[in-house]
Amino acid sequence: MATVERFTPPSTTHEVTNQPPPLIGHNAFDADPALQEALVREGGAWGVDRARELGELVASAEADEHRRRAQRNVPILRTHDRFGHRIDEVEYDPSMHWMLRAGIEREVNSLGWRETRPAAHVVRYALFYLFNQLDTGPCCPFSINYAAVPTIRQDPVLAAQWEPRLALPDYQRFAQAGMVMTEKQGGSDLRANSTVATPAGDGWYELTGHKWFCTHPVFDMFFTLGQTEAGITCFVAERPHPGFRLQRLKDKLGGRCLASSEVEFDHLPARILGEEGRGTKYMIEQIIWTRLDTLAGVAGMMRRLVSEAVWHCRHRTAFGAPLAEQPAMQNVLADLAVESEAAMALTLRLARAFDATDDQRETAFRRLGLAVAKYWVCKRGAPLAAEALECLGGNGYIETMESPVSQFYRDIQIGTVWEGSGNVIALDVLRAIARNRESVEAFLTECELAAGADPRLDDHLRAVRRGLDHLGTAVNPEWIARAVVEDMALALQASLLVRHSPTSVADAACARLAARRRAFGTLPSGIDATAIVDRSLAA
């Protein structure tokens, strides 16, 4: 692809000064010491070279041109060909295809299911975290395919048909999966689905109804839900098919390079996955993995935003000194960097728990840990984006040349809605606490691995235990659900940072716990902000 020349014509009125250069042409992996440490710590040392190769790509000028072009040339719905035949296709800009191909060929959508070495999920989540620093749009289809493999494995016949292609790192021949569940009357409450499934003989059904959200509707196969006489049931259907009709594309806040659509099913052939009437049970496998992806994706976007903020402040001078050397800004940048490192550390720690399939304690830990982490990291995404944007001043607010900061500010909000919005996740955590005592113990044991290292963390850990005890007798547990989940997430993040990060980062994490302030830039005196900010971007 021809690159757009970036040249500055001579100005006749003034010289352009004090405008930072774009943060392009470094290596996003080499610039991130915290990621390098976490990848090795969680068992993924063999993936360092892959992560470095992808780190080079996602921060390259070529990738940035594709990101910008795919953002500008948004997907176009093609319901009919020029002769009036229905085709129900979406046309993507070649730059979107470039990004999709780049991820698929690097197994960003499949590595954990293809690789036999230990910590394959850890390595894959490091790659996914890096790819989200380029653009989260293509990462959504990667994520759906990653989750499709364990979901389809619940039916050996369907798995034999689809798994080899779902996990194929070949952009021409692989099969893209979709997940199409949400209807107009309810997304979180999937039991409210009204799509009807009628038997058509030979184990086949026909689906008739609609879906209100259907992302990347160019897939080869998809999971969906419909009502049979036995109740809500999970189905696998294929497209293209005349019974699968795209109504329109969504005009979205973010993720603009990626199509999300509304769709109607008209006697669309489908086969049951799993047991009739127990559809939500079979979709849980999909939801677990896409939740982990949402967590990793938001952590990746946070990382890009913090990098942009630090870079800008290092290169921008105000009132006689670089912004990054001025105390009020150092407080903000250090606080943002700690938030971002905590999100990444949590992601890779959870990925390790997903690798340890034979370890009961890890299974118990991840059951609760994933929901807690997804809730909190996604909740923190939008405030972090807002603060990072502010660090760039007016430039942060501007869309000109498709600035990554304003794009990521919009994109990051998807994490709060996709795969469980805040309340839905917080209520999931309450249910997990009530049903799985061993998960609560595994979660607390993990947090308490840092006990004794810092009195502020010890106080917080005691408060978390009290909060969990109090839940059992609370008159209205749902009322306090978010508070409980937030405290649990902060405990786990601080525990990870205290155990694994440099003293400067660990100290700031514990100081934040004690101060209980949530606005960025409110770290107390004595924090080594210079060390934190230096560590945050080695570029």
Ligand X SMILES: Cc1cc2nc3c(=O)[nH]c(=O)nc-3n(C[C@H](O)[C@H](O)[C@H](O)COP(=O)(O)OP(=O)(O)OC[C@H]3O[C@@H](n4cnc5c(N)ncnc54)[C@H](O)[C@@H]3O)c2cc1C
Contact positions vs ligand X (CB under 6 A)? 179-182, 186-189, 213-215, 252, 255, 260, 414, 417-418, 421-424, 427
472 token code pair: 């059992």
Q: Considering only CA atoms, which of 98, 34, 88, 93 is closest in space to residue 63? A: 98
Of 177 and 336, nearer to ligand X (C-beta) is: 177
CB of 263 to ligand X, least distance (A): 10
Is residue 14 classed exposed, middle or buried when 0-12, 13-18 and 19+ CB atoms within 10 A define those classes? exposed
Of 342 and 425, nearer to ligand X (C-beta) is: 425
Q: Give every CB contact of residue 209 below 8 A, 6+ residues apart in sequence.
A: 183, 193, 194, 195, 196, 226, 264, 265
CB of 417 to ligand X, least distance (A): 5
Of 35 and 429, nearer to ligand X (C-beta) is: 429
Of 250 and 465, nearer to ligand X (C-beta) is: 250
Strand, helix or coil at 359? coil
Phi/psi of residue 263, nearest 5 degrees:
-140, 150
Q: Residue 250's CB: how many other CB atoms inside 10 A?
A: 15
Buried b (16+ CB within 10 A) or exposed e, 273-292: bbeeeebbebbebbbbbbbb
Residue nearest to ligand X (CB): 187
Of 158 and 181, nearer to ligand X (C-beta) is: 181
Packing angle of the helix pair 120-131, 279-315 (nearest 10 deg) = 50
What is the rounded distance in angstroms from the CA atom of residue 142 to the CA atom of residue 290? Answer: 10
Of 424 and 451, nearer to ligand X (C-beta) is: 424
Q: Residue 57's CB: how many other CB atoms inside 10 A?
A: 19
467 token code pair: 């909060």
What is the rounded distance in angstroms from the CA atom of residue 292 to the CA atom of residue 143? Answer: 9
Q: Report the chain's C-alpha Rg in angstroms.
A: 24
- The answer to whether the CB of 113 falls within 8 A of the CB of 142 is no
CB of 40 to ligand X, least distance (A): 34
CA dihedral 63, 67, 69, 75 (to 10 degrees): 130
Of 260 and 406, nearer to ligand X (C-beta) is: 260
CB of 481 to ligand X, least distance (A): 9
Helical ranges in 224-359 per DSSP H:
279-315, 327-355
Q: How far is CA 83 from CA 179, 247, 352, in A?
A: 31, 19, 53
CB of 299 to ligand X, least distance (A): 19
CB of 425 to ligand X, least distance (A): 8
Of 27 and 260, nearer to ligand X (C-beta) is: 260
Q: Considering only CA atoms, which of 534, 529, 493, 533 is closest in space to residue 513? A: 493
CB of 492 to ligand X, least distance (A): 22
Amino acid at 339: E
CB of 411 to ligand X, least distance (A): 10
Strand, helix or coil at 363? helix
Q: How far apart are the first and last CA of the chain?
A: 27
Provide the total of helices (H) and of strands (E) in the chain, helices listed first. 19, 11
Of 417 and 480, nearer to ligand X (C-beta) is: 417
CB of 333 to ligand X, least distance (A): 30
CB of 419 to ligand X, least distance (A): 7
CB of 434 to ligand X, least distance (A): 15
DSSP state of 181: -
Of 92 and 418, nearer to ligand X (C-beta) is: 418
Of 22 and 187, nearer to ligand X (C-beta) is: 187
